[in-house]
Amino acid sequence: MNLGGAGVVITGGGGGIGRAMALRFAAEGARIFVADLDGDAAARVAEEVGGSSLAVDVAADVDRLITTARAELGAIDMFCANAGIAPHGTEATPEDVWAQAWDVNVMSHVRAAKLLLPEWLERGRGHFLATVSAAGLLTILGSAPYAVTKHGALAFAEWLSATYRHRGITVQAVCPQGVRTNMLASTGPSGQLVMGASAIEPEEVADTVMEALADGRFLVLPHPEVAGYYARRATETDRWLGGMNKLQRKIEQQG
């Protein structure tokens, strides 16, 4: 994808991976629209990149986001569905927490695609970039809502690609492991045990995304080793689950 002059929307763009992508894309000539629940953070990033911003809850108000972004940009060439939440929890987690994770991590993607695709299909091009996480390919211990909804986000991205790629729609799924953001910090000791040693900076994710934009690959893996883990999960499932359970027991011992 040529970012020169492209209109790009980034949700969750007020910090972390979203901010890093905004800076990187703007350096390539893209026109950036930053959306975030934290309006002040979104405005700061927009000022950094000479773009526009909106304080918005992507789970509840995607219509306003798309309408406002189109008015500012003229057209949306790439939509980066980057906003996400990672509540701790198990099967016993209250259903409203599950529902919120589903709304933010999956349904905000679905609702955005519903609004974007008619125009993209009419003109024969469009780009949907979903920040999924390696949890969508594998799993993550300590957060059933996050693991399950990120699997859902990956499944939706796969479906979009399989359904519309012949009509000019490019879909990519960004699947990093640990990234040094506030989300990683919020995972506590278990998150640090699982992801801390291999955690990378948001700017490294943005660099990998730029490489992937050049070749259009579906899976964008800032941690290349995730490809091997994903293959073992598929071909040696019981062994892989046994390894994850061993790690779970280690977390419980430390706790």
Q: Where in the sequence numbering do the catalytic residues fall?
A: 146
- Contact (Cβ atoms closer than 8 angstroms) between residue 33 and residue 104: no
Q: Catalogue the E-assigned strands of the chain.
A: 7-11, 31-36, 52-55, 78-81, 126-131, 169-174, 219-220
The C-alpha atoms of residue 204 and residue 176 are separated, in whole angstroms, by: 10
CA distance 45 to 33: 9
Q: Which long-range contacts (CB under 8 A, 24 or more apart) does 232-236 make?
A: 233/137, 233/138
Q: DSSP label at 74?
A: S
Q: Yes or no: say if 14 and 2 are a contact pair by the CB < 8 Å rule.
A: no
Could you tell me if 193 and 187 are in contact, meaning their C-beta atoms sit under 8 angstroms apart? no
